[in-house]
Amino acid sequence: MEHHALRHSAAHVLASAVKELFPGAKLAIGPAIEDGFYYDFDFRPFTPEDLEKIEKRFKEIIKKNLPFIKSNKTKKDAEKILKNEPYKLELLKKLKEGEITFYSHGDFTDLCAGPHVKSTGEIKGFKLLRTSGAYWLGDSKNKQLQRIYGTAFPSEKELQEYIKKLEEAEKRNHIKLGKQLKLFTFEPESPGSVFYLPRGTIVYNELIGFLRNEYRKRGYQEIKTPILYNNSLWKTSGHWEHYKNNMFFTEIEGQVYALKPMNCPACMLAYKNELHSYKELPIRYADFGILHRNELSGVLNGMFRLRYFVQDDAHIFIEESQIEEEVWRLIDFIEYIYKKVFVFDYSVKLSTRPEKFLGDKKTWDYAEKALENALKKKKVAYTINEGDGTFYGPKIDFHINDSLGRSWQLSTIQLDYGMPLRFELTYEGKDGRKHRPVVIHRAIFGSLERFMAILIEHTGGVFPLWLAPVQVILLTVGEKNFDYAREILLELEERGIRVELDDRAESIGRKVRDAQLMKINYIVTIGDKEQEKKTLAIRTLDGKVNFGVKVNDFVKELIKKIDDKV
């Protein structure tokens, strides 16, 4: 991670500043994270005034240019140093003799494995960003601590560039734009869930409709499966052992049931419903399944992190010899989506066997090699992400880069030998005997909600024309233009264009501004001149206006752009 040591050092400076100002605060943990750092304290909630004081003390510590000094301690000595820090003592218990290290700057000493920069003076640009509650060790059964987030850079210039990026991100915030554009809302009665409004529902349905059309071209069959299952299914699939802390459970007639957090076990049942031959393979089942995951309230974040969402999952049942060819097909599919339709840059990572996994190492080695061969033969640049595979198989992840320079893991191709074994899936081979299929778990957008949030922030709420909830708005200049405007409205609607009419008794300037705030792709003004000549005045969101456009020419242009997905 770039600037990791600098930000880890900044977390220590933050902790020392807090301890100087508030000696009663107990230290927990303070790691570097992407784009910043945080430190957790057992203390009352910090106020904005507290943060100002902490930031001022932070600057003073930096100015002193105090060296970071590493020291090794025995467990007995460490216990003495940490006698008044219960959370550090808890961490100390997990360490063995010979691996206990401390870092000090000035009078402050903290249990830490490092790394750090040479001195506090290397932190040239920093800012404390916000506070939040956080459970000790991320467990809701533990006490809630107070977390302070910050960021740090080697120069003030880099800090200011980052702050500008944050400001731009705030302008594009999907929660804010979702409300402004009347796409969706969030309600306290169902935290972690999206309430789609009519316009947002159009975008959602267009995304699914687009994928369904692609599925028909690519040999997929769509299935629909329930959301509630007896816990016997989750024990068979392995989720009971590996994932049950993230699931919602209920009891029915004395038996435990769970809402599905993933579609794969249900898809295994769909495959098992009938006998299959090698002639049918690959079998590609797609399922826009409703999923529920038991996320802590503190990590819920708009459409980025939800409890209820829909994923564009597909599960592909193949012979082992078909792995590389099917992975090639999937790479082509993903490249089409993200290079031709949505035009994102992306990077690729191959994630390998984690510490806890299903199956045997020999099978895992073969599966990892098969994915690696597919990437190499397709000449796809990739990096290895050691130990980050799912518990049932290795995977290829596609990390999309948005217009704000952020990276998002969206598309994934996951190879699975374990689940077909657990569900005793078979097909009849050429030799007339039963064989075990291999399963590829695959997603393109991933969570539909998360993809929508990323797309909203990437585009600033300006959807591509084919996806826009309102593609054209007609603005009347005066009352006598109503009839002609309604003629145009009906013609566009008959051609499948999503169009609205603004015939309010407002100035045309006000109507244009309102339409621009709603990010509508084409703003059409209809006045006396247009009515007389049977033409249109068309304004695009970049402010350009074309006068005297024939209605039929405009309709042809719209339909072509929609069909071409631009």
User: E strands along 393-478, which residues?
Assistant: 395-401, 407-416, 427-428, 434-435, 438-447, 472-476
Residues in the chain: 566
Strand, coil or helix: what is 527?
Answer: coil
Catalytic residue among 57, 73, 292, 441, which?
Answer: 441
- CA dist., res. 540 & res. 551, Å (int): 16
Concerning whether 311 is annotated as a catalytic residue, the answer is: yes
Q: By C-alpha distance, which of 166, 191, 150, 203 is closest to 3?
A: 150
Q: What residue type is assigned to position 395 of the chain? A: K
- CA dist., res. 463 & res. 466, Å (int): 8
- CA dist., res. 139 & res. 143, Å (int): 8
Rounded to 5 degrees, what angle do the CA atoms 414, 415, 417 make?
Answer: 140
Concerning whether 105 is annotated as a catalytic residue, the answer is: no
DSSP H helices, 148-188, are 156-171, 174-180
- CA dist., res. 376 & res. 396, Å (int): 12
- CA dist., res. 350 & res. 385, Å (int): 6
Catalytic residue among 19, 315, 329, 511, which?
Answer: 315
Catalytic residue among 260, 353, 395, 511, which?
Answer: 395
409, 390 in Cβ contact below 8 A?
Answer: no
Catalytic residue among 35, 40, 287, 313, which?
Answer: 313
- CA dist., res. 129 & res. 165, Å (int): 13
- CA dist., res. 73 & res. 78, Å (int): 6
Q: Map 295-317 to HEC letters.
A: CCHHHCECCCECCEEEEEEEEEE
Concerning whether 144 is annotated as a catalytic residue, the answer is: no
Catalytic residue among 264, 307, 329, 397, which?
Answer: 264
Q: How far is CA 36 from CA 89, 102, 166, 215, 286, in A?
A: 26, 22, 12, 41, 39
Q: What is the β-pairing status of strands 545-550 and 522-526? A: unpaired
- CA dist., res. 158 & res. 164, Å (int): 10
- CA dist., res. 495 & res. 563, Å (int): 13
- DSSP-derived letter for residue 362 is H
352, 394 in Cβ contact below 8 A?
Answer: yes
Catalytic residue among 19, 292, 293, 498, which?
Answer: 293
> What is the dihedral sign for C-alpha 445, 448, 453, 459?
positive
Q: How much is the CA Rg of the chain, to the nearest whole Å?
A: 28
Catalytic residue among 146, 311, 322, 531, which?
Answer: 311
Concerning whether 174 is annotated as a catalytic residue, the answer is: no
Q: What residue type is assigned to position 427 of the chain? A: Y
Concerning whether 441 is annotated as a catalytic residue, the answer is: yes
Concerning whether 264 is annotated as a catalytic residue, the answer is: yes
Q: Map 211-234 to HEC letters.
A: HHHHHHHCCEEECCCCCEEEHHHH
Catalytic residues: 264, 293, 311, 313, 315, 395, 441
